[in-house]
Amino acid sequence: MIHIPLKKMSMSLLGLAMAGLTVSLTGVANATDNRVPVVYVVPMSGQMGTDIHPSIYDEVIKDALKVQPDVIVYQLKSADIDNNFYLAGNDDRREFGMAKMGEYRELVRALHQKLDARQVMWVEDSVGLGSLLALSWPEMYMSEGARLWGLARVSMMAAGWSDPDVASKMLNAWVGMGNGFLQLGGYDLEIGWAMMRPEYTLSASFKGREVTWTNNTGGQWVVDSNKEGVANFSASLAEDMGLSEGTVANLDDLMFLLGYREYDEVESGKKMVEKYVEDWRRTFDRCKSWYADAQQKLGWASGDDAIRYLGAAKTDLEKILRACKQYPAVAARWQQDYGTSILQLELQIEGIKDQIGDMRRGRNGGGRKGGNPGRGGGGGRGL
């Protein structure tokens, strides 16, 4: 596959024509086995840490191993800002990618190691920690208008330390971990430093096809001269600088650039991921409703109806607990939005059970000969 002629041009007509010429040659070579290549598209859309979560990709890996595609395309669309996938308003902080670097690292490692087909990253849009995923594959394409932004999030994770040595320790530890993703993708450390650390500049020098990156403005092409902001890449800049192999409008375009004039798309992975996202988000919405119900019932739990309403509230909380256990994404969002972990939910439920038990014992105790005298009806115990 020859990419080089495409690197320095966007997908203009001329570019397409040239690409067609280049690709058709490859296509002829590939056509000898009379088999249409199979492409398996894996969406990575939405919030990092919930929509994009290892639990669903474990399933995708199993499916892809059965399908045995020729090409796997990761379709990344995860932007912390100017993103209206699920919400009418933009920039909802609750929808920002979660700071789970270790989890993302395991995810990319698993995809790299367990799947042996050609793997291609297609960035439709990426702002935030998703850009670490984008840069974890050496063969990357971007959509027109796509952003490869937002890795300032990595250095922000180290904020809040006043001692300069401790601050530097935390910063460089996080940035080092972040750069691990770029190294997996075969990108230079200098790019990572500039994309994660505002005070770093970035320029590149070209010697033939070889690009040398430096964290200063002395190169032939200055990418980022701002010492107060990180380097970000638009699709065209990424292509010009050789980070992206090309700019594409759709899957047809991408496959064409990959050297396949025709292909079969297997959609099972795409459907699995889309269903997962739909399911966990619907479940999470239900949890919010169950929680509101539980709060209301707890408010009503006094007098003669106390046990009934406590029991009903407990049932609502148990539904939330089950949802958290079924979907790690629900658990993660529950923790983030409501500040309650699975363990805390369990403790809360156990507390209600005890309270109900106390009430029952208190109510029945008086009627039993020689029975448990009760412990005061449990009225003094909170949740």
Partner 1 sequence: MQIRIVTILMLFIGLLAGGSVATAEQYELTFSNGSSWRGDDGAMVDVVFNEQGIEQSITGVIKKIDGRPGFQIVFIRGQIAGREATKGIFAPDIVSMKATGGTNASTKSTADATTSGSKKSDPGKPGGTASKPATTTMGDDGYLKSSKPGVFFMPWEGPVGIEARHDEIQAIIAEADKYGPGQIIVLQINSPGGLVIEGDKIHETLKDVKQRHRVVAWIKEAISAAAFTSLHCDEIYFMKVGAMGSAVMFAGQTAISGGELEAWLKKFSEVADIGGRDPIIARCMVTRTAMASYDKDEDTGKVTIYPDMQGEFNLSDDQNVLTLNVDNAMDCGYADGIADTTDELAVLLDLPEWHEVNDSGRKIHERWQRNVKQCRARIPRLQAELQRNPEKAITLLKELLGWYNRCYPVLVYEMNLPPDPDPIRRQIEELRRQRALQRN
Pick one of 15, 27, 176, 377: the residue that binds partner 1 (CB under 8 A). 176
Least Cβ distance, residue 128 to partner 1 (angstroms): 19
Kindly tell me which of 225 and 372 has the beta carbon lying closer to partner 1. Answer: 372
Contacts of partner 1 in 271-310 (CB under 8 A): none
**79 bridge partner residues:** 127
Q: Per rule CB under 8 A, is residue 165 in the interface with partner 1? A: yes
For the segment 103-122, give every residue that binds partner 1 (CB under 8 A): 105, 108-109, 112-114, 116
Amino acid at 380: G
168 near partner 1, judged by CB under 8 A: yes
Considering CB under 8 A, how many residues would be counted as binding partner 1?
Answer: 40
Task: Provide the phi-psi class of 152: left if phi over 0, else alpha when psi is between -120 and 50, else beta.
Answer: alpha
Compare residues 87 and 347 and give the one whose CB is closer to partner 1: 347
Residues sharing a CB contact under 8 Å with residue 334, sequence separation 6 or more, in sequence order: 284, 287, 320, 324, 340, 345
User: Taking the CB of residue 58, how many other CB atoms lie within 10 A of it?
Assistant: 12
134/122 Cα distance (integer angstroms):
8
Q: Within 124-163, which residues bind partner 1 (CB under 8 A)?
A: 161-163
Quick one: which segment of 12-20, 34-42, 101-109, 306-314 binds partner 1 (CB under 8 A)? 101-109
> x/- binding map, residues 62-91, to partner 1, per CB under 8 A?
x--x--------------------------
- Position 383 contacts partner 1 (CB under 8 A): no
Q: Which helix (H) or strand (E) holds 265?
A: strand 264-266
Q: Who contacts 254 (Cβ-Cβ below 8 Å, separation ≥6)? A: 73, 120, 122, 141, 248
55 binds partner 1 (CB under 8 A): no
Q: How far apart are the C-alpha atoms of 79 and 124, rounded to whole Å?
A: 10
Positions in 216-275 near partner 1 (CB under 8 A): none
Q: Output 11 or 306, the one with its CB closest to partner 1.
A: 306
The two tokens of residue 304 are 């003669």
Contact between residue 315 and residue 357 where contact means Cβ atoms under 8 Å apart: no
Q: To 5 degrees, how large is the angle CA 347–CA 350–CA 352?
A: 110
Element holding 57 (H helix, E strand): helix 54-67
Window contacting partner 1 (CB under 8 A); options: 244-252, 271-279, 314-322, 340-348: 340-348
**Contact code string over 177-206 relative to partner 1, x by CB under 8 A:** x-xxx-xx---xx-----------------
For partner 1, the binding residues (CB under 8 A) are 62, 65, 102, 105, 108-109, 112-114, 116, 161-166, 168-173, 175-177, 179-181, 183-184, 188-189, 343-344, 346-347, 350-351, 354, 381
